[in-house]
Amino acid sequence: MKSAKLLTTLLAVASFPAAAQEAAADKLAALESSVSAAQTSGDNAWMLVSTALVLLMTGPGLALFYGGLVRKKNILGTMMQSFIMMALATILWTVVGYSLAFGEGSAFLGDLRYLMLNGVGGAPNADYAATIPHQTFMFFQMMFAIITPALITGAFAERMKFSAMLLFMTLWSLLVYYPMAHMVWGKGGMLNAFLGGSVPCFDFAGGTVVHITSGVSALVCALYLGKRLGYPTEPIKPHSLVLSFIGACLLWVGWFGFNAGSALSAGSLASSAFLATHLGASAAVFGWLAMEWIQVGKPSILGGISGAVAGLVVITPASGFVTPGSAMIMGFLGGVVCYFMVVKIKNKFGYDDSLDAFGVHGAGGTLGAILTGVFATNAVNNALKDSAGKPAALGLVDGNGGQIVNQLIGSAIAWGLAIVGTLIILKICDMTLGLRVSAEDETEGLDLSQHGEEGYNLDT
Amino acid sequence: MKKIEAIIQPFKLEEVKEALKAIGVDGMTITEVRGHGRQKGHKEVYRGQEYQVDLLPKVKVELVVGDDRLDEIASALAGAARTGKIGDGKIFVYDVAQAIRIRNDDRGDSAL
């Protein structure tokens, strides 16, 4: 209809005098602006929903998932560690974080142009997302800055001081997350494949930025803080897999916002990422359960939900680049590999990564980052053009095997930054506040010792 | 007076209550307890961490009865709680020196 109308207008323009031509041009401009406004409101609606979905992943999703896995004396302390990030990371992001991550600075870190969100308003930032308000883009990315540090809390569960945790998370956001986000997603970042990075690395929704950084930092934390009292000789069982189940399912749903929202628009790429995300999770459930059924003899609900999260992690960097078939292969492999890391490797080396933040996010994130270099294809995502202006070959399946090297470099940088940054930060926290609660407080539980309350007062 | 203390399978509690009610036993005290006898516990596995759970959930039923009704009541209780499998539990019988009804200070059999 619109194009027919346009054609009539154009035909009319050809035979009319100058004044009429001017009127027609005005009409055309008005038409263009209303088309673009319509696209903006469509894209913006999806992005605001996605933003809310990603917040839902941290609270209550992750808080419930982790909360159910600890002993009941630590349920509130554990949930608080996720919840407080919803407030803390938000403030940090607003004051300085967004600017350091997405300001156009060096290859490693952004500048201070968006300090206090200065200049981040309704007008789109065409470098990042041309059809949504810059503010929406900033807001969406804020939710990633919340959940990423919150993931680490699984490694030091049941034994870290709340005060030390606040300092750790503040410094970690500044020293690890913002630089990594800038390198991969920020304009001028050295790993940014779409905005001129020197080592183009594909990370659609955060395999390196979110999962490798948090997962590897988690391992460093687990090693530095040491084991929980009684681990692994005394029984330290999850106190409520029911809560963990609810949390994992909320994570699964929230992940649609995380991955499909990373299309930064509401078009076909969002649909494709949405589907890949769902397939990755589904296939990983079977990957984990198959291993467990064969090795332990019984498929467990904890295994099922752990597999789902592992699959979601693995598919995250690839979600906007791979076909449904590849997504299922990646998810299944994620379930198997993360099972192996959590059940075999952890027990072999004996570190107390209490809730398996490294085994799932560190291992899954690395696997996902590498496999993205294998399965990424321009049949799904043709945003990247070669010198001739045609869609560039993306991964090995497109004949670009060298991309795997780039993915390895990106992963290695994320590993290095996470290890060095986290070690420095832990040292600072250790020397100033002390990292661990006293043995007495640990035995009493974080709920009472850190917060002065109990999660369950069922006999009152 | 005798006190009957029975440790039974939790899922048998309703049948035991019904059986005792059927022969006119009015009062009892129930406690949820954990324990094991010759019955082995079970194994639980959480992400590869194995735990041997030895103490299993049981229910303790306590009631005090007159000497004359002891055998009848103990048999009814055992009959209702029995599955024939290991883990059914045990019944212990104790002598009771005195019983006092708090409401009106009744003593002995009339307090039961």
Residue-wise pLDDT for A316-359, tens only, equals 999 999 999 999 999 999 999 999 999 999 989 999 999 999 99
Q: Is residue A87 part of a domain?
A: yes
DSSP one-letter string for B20-51: HHHTT----EEEEEEE-SSS--EEEEETTEEE
Is B51's Cβ below 8 Å from some Cβ in A? Answer: yes
Separation CA A36–CA A282 (nearest Å) = 37
Q: What is the pLDDT of residues A192-229, one digit of tens each?
A: 999 989 999 999 999 999 999 999 999 999 999 999 99
In chain B, the residue whose alpha carbon lies closest to the alpha carbon of A339 is B47
Question: How many domains is chain A partitioned into structurally?
Answer: 1
Cβ–Cβ of B47/A356 closer than 8 Å?
A: yes
The residue segments making up the domain with residue B100 are: 2-111
Please report residues of A whose CB lies closer than 8 A to that of B55. Answer: none
Cβ–Cβ of B47/A344 closer than 8 Å?
A: no
Q: What is the pLDDT of residues A169-194, one digit of tens each?
A: 999 999 999 999 999 999 999 999 99
Please report residues of A whose CB lies closer than 8 A to that of B46. Answer: 237-238, 300, 302
Q: What is the mean pLDDT of residues A360-379?
A: 98
Q: Is residue A32 part of a domain?
A: no
In chain B, the residue whose alpha carbon lies closest to the alpha carbon of A239 is B46
Cross-chain CB nearest to A302 (options B47, B51, B53): B47
CB pairs under 8 A between A and B: 26
Residue A2 has pLDDT above 70, yes or no: no
Q: pLDDT value at position A321?
A: 98
Q: What is the pLDDT of residues B5-62, one digit of tens each?
A: 999 999 999 999 999 999 999 889 999 999 888 777 788 899 988 888 888 889 999 9
- Label residue B94 by pLDDT band (50, 70, 90): very high
Residue A6 has pLDDT above 80, yes or no: no
Q: Is residue A262 part of a domain?
A: yes
Q: pLDDT value at position A235?
A: 81
Q: Is residue A236 part of a domain?
A: yes
Q: pLDDT value at position B54?
A: 84
Cβ–Cβ of A235/B47 closer than 8 Å?
A: no
Q: What is the pLDDT of residues B49-70, one digit of tens each?
A: 888 888 888 999 999 999 999 9
Q: Is residue A316 part of a domain?
A: yes
Cβ–Cβ of B44/A237 closer than 8 Å?
A: yes
Q: pLDDT value at position B10?
A: 94
Please report residues of B whose CB lies closer than 8 A to that of A238. Answer: 46
Tokens 């980052």 label which residue? A369
Q: pLDDT value at position B37?
A: 80
Please report residues of B whose CB lies closer than 8 A to that of A235. Answer: 51, 53
Q: What is the pLDDT of residues A427-457, one digit of tens each?
A: 999 999 999 999 999 999 999 999 999 999 9
Separation CA A146–CA B38 (nearest Å) = 52
Please report residues of A whose CB lies closer than 8 A to that of B45. Answer: 296, 298, 300
Interface pTM, i.e. ipTM:
0.79
Cross-chain CB nearest to B45 (options A296, A306, A344): A296
Report angle CA B97, B102, B104 to the nearest 5 degrees. 110
Q: Is residue A169 part of a domain?
A: yes
Please report residues of B whose CB lies closer than 8 A to that of A344. Answer: 48
In chain A, the residue whose alpha carbon lies closest to the alpha carbon of B49 is A343
Separation CA A442–CA A449 (nearest Å) = 8
Please provide the average confidence, as pLDDT, over all residues in chain A.
95
Q: What is the mean pLDDT of residues A365-369?
A: 98
The residue segments making up the domain with residue A219 are: 53-451
Q: pLDDT value at position A20?
A: 83
Most confident of A23-27, A302-306, B36-40: A302-306
Separation CA A442–CA A445 (nearest Å) = 5
Q: Is residue A119 part of a domain?
A: yes
Q: pLDDT value at position A15?
A: 61
Chain B nearest CA to A297, separation (Å): 10
Q: What is the mean pLDDT of residues B93-98?
A: 96
pTM confidence score: 0.88
The CATH number for A165's domain is 1.10.3430.10
Q: pLDDT value at position B41?
A: 79
Residue A1 has pLDDT above 60, yes or no: no
Cross-chain CB nearest to B51 (options A235, A306, A342): A235
The CATH number for B40's domain is 3.30.70.120
What are the tokens at A340? Answer: 């192996």
Q: Is residue A2 part of a domain?
A: no
Cross-chain CB nearest to A343 (options B44, B47, B53): B47
Please report residues of B whose CB lies closer than 8 A to that of A302. Answer: 46-47
Give the max Cα distance, chain B: 59
Cross-chain CB nearest to A238 (options B46, B48, B53): B46
Q: Residue A209: which residues within 8 A CB-CB, separation 6 or more?
A: A144, A148, A177, A180, A181, A184, A185, A203, A414
Q: Which residue type occupies B5?
A: E
Give me the percent of chain A exceeding a pLDDT of 70: 97
Question: How many domains is chain B partitioned into structurally?
Answer: 1
